[in-house]
Amino acid sequence: MHDFTPISGFAGGALIGLAAALLMLLTGRIAGVTGIVGGLLQPDTADRGWRIAFILGLIAAPLIAALFGAPLPRPTMNGSLVVIAIAGLLVGFGTRMGNGCTSGHGVCGFARLSGRSIVATFIFMTAAIATVAIARHVIGG
Amino acid sequence: MPVLASFICGLIFGAGLLISGMTDPQKVLGFLDLFGAWNATLAFVMAGAVAVAASGFAIARRRTAPTFSARFLWPDRNDIDAPLVGGAILFGIGWGLAGICPGPALVNLAGLSLPIVVFVAAMLAGMIGQNLFGKNLWRPRTMAPRAAETASLPSRADG
Q: Is residue B68 situated within a structural domain?
A: no
Q: What's the domain count of chain B?
A: 2
Which residues of chain A neighbour B90 with C-beta distances below 8 Å?
Answer: 90, 93-94, 97-98, 127
Q: What's the domain count of chain A?
A: 1
Question: What interhelical angle do A33-40 and A49-67 show, nearest 10?
Answer: 120
- Where in the sequence is the domain holding A108, given as residue range(s)? 76-141
CB of A40 less than 8 A from some CB of B: no
Find the closest chain A residue to B27 by CA distance: A2
Residues B18, B56, single domain; the answer is: yes
Cα separation of B158 and B137, whole Å?
21
Segment A26-39 shows an average pLDDT of 97
Residues B87, B148, single domain; the answer is: yes
Which residues of chain B neighbour A69 with C-beta distances below 8 Å?
Answer: none
Per-residue pLDDT of chain B (159 residues; tens, 9 = 90+): 899 999 999 999 999 999 999 999 999 999 999 999 999 999 999 999 999 999 999 999 999 999 999 999 999 998 999 999 999 999 999 999 999 999 999 999 999 999 999 999 999 999 999 999 876 665 544 444 444 444 444 456 677
3-state secondary structure of A98: coil
- Where in the sequence is the domain holding B123, given as residue range(s)? 82-152
User: pLDDT digit string (tens) for A130-139?
Assistant: 999 999 999 8
pLDDT reported for residue B154: 47
Q: Is residue B86 situated within a structural domain?
A: yes
For B1-24, give the secondary structure using H, E and C: CHHHHHHHHHHHHHHHHHHHCCCC
Q: Is residue B118 situated within a structural domain?
A: yes
Q: Give how far A118 is from chain B: nearest CA, Å.
A: 10
Q: Is residue B91 situated within a structural domain?
A: yes
Q: Confirm if B34 and B26 have CB atoms less than 8 A apart.
A: no
